[in-house]
């Protein structure tokens, strides 16, 4: 098991929701990246995911999106990642689970057809978790 880049277990906010406009942005970015994977970093505000951070140097291919996490500034509002699965499955791969365990605690996977029903959220252990869509 890899060593986490940041200790996300201390003083972490309880993330319970995502803004609808942020989710739509994630879905559109993923759709426009097809057939390659899309990847980004999630930022929260008062327990709601409100923002997407695009990291310079992220490499997107048909089978993976590779983050340059060293490009991420230290930011306590960062809660995890988002990436797409062009294959149509929102289930995390073994590589996804490795990332989840080492970075953040709230991870979203989106897939085709990239609509409001084609996404899932996972915790740092790869367990599916609820995330309410709010205005």
Residue 102 lies in a domain: yes
Which range marks the domain in which residue 54 is found? Answer: 17-134
Q: Which of 28, 37, 51, 62 is catalytic?
A: 37
Residue 5 lies in a domain: no
CB 72 within 8 A of CB 53: yes
Closest to 20 (Cα-Cα) out of 120, 84, 129, 116 = 116
The pLDDT value given to residue 55: 79
The pLDDT value given to residue 10: 53
Give me the number of domains the chain comprises. 1
The token duo for 9 is: 């277990």
pTM attached to this predicted model: 0.86
For position 71, which CATH number holds? 3.40.140.10
Residue 44 lies in a domain: yes
Active site annotation includes 44:
no
CB 6 within 8 A of CB 121: no
The mean pLDDT values, 10 residues at a time, for the chain of 135 residues are 50 86 96 92 96 78 70 85 92 94 93 96 96 97
The residue with tokens 């970093």 is 41
Residue 6 lies in a domain: no
């Amino acid at each position: 098991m890899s060593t986490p880049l940041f200790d996300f277990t201390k003083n972490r906010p309880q993330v319970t929701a995502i803004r609808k406009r942020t989710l739509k942005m994630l879905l559109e970015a993923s759709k426009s990246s097809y057939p390659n994977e899309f990847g980004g970093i999630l930022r929260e505000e008062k327990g709601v995911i409100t923002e997407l951070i695009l990291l310079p140097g992220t490499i997107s291919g048909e089978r993976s999106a590779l983050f340059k996490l060293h490009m991420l500034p230290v930011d306590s509002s960062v809660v995890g990642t988002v990436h797409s699965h062009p294959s149509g499955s929102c289930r995390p791969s073994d590589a996804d689970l490795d990332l989840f365990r080492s970075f953040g605690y709230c991870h979203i996977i989106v897939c085709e057809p990239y609509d409001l029903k084609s996404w899932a959220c996972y915790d740092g252990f790869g367990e599916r978790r609820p995330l309410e869509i709010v205005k």
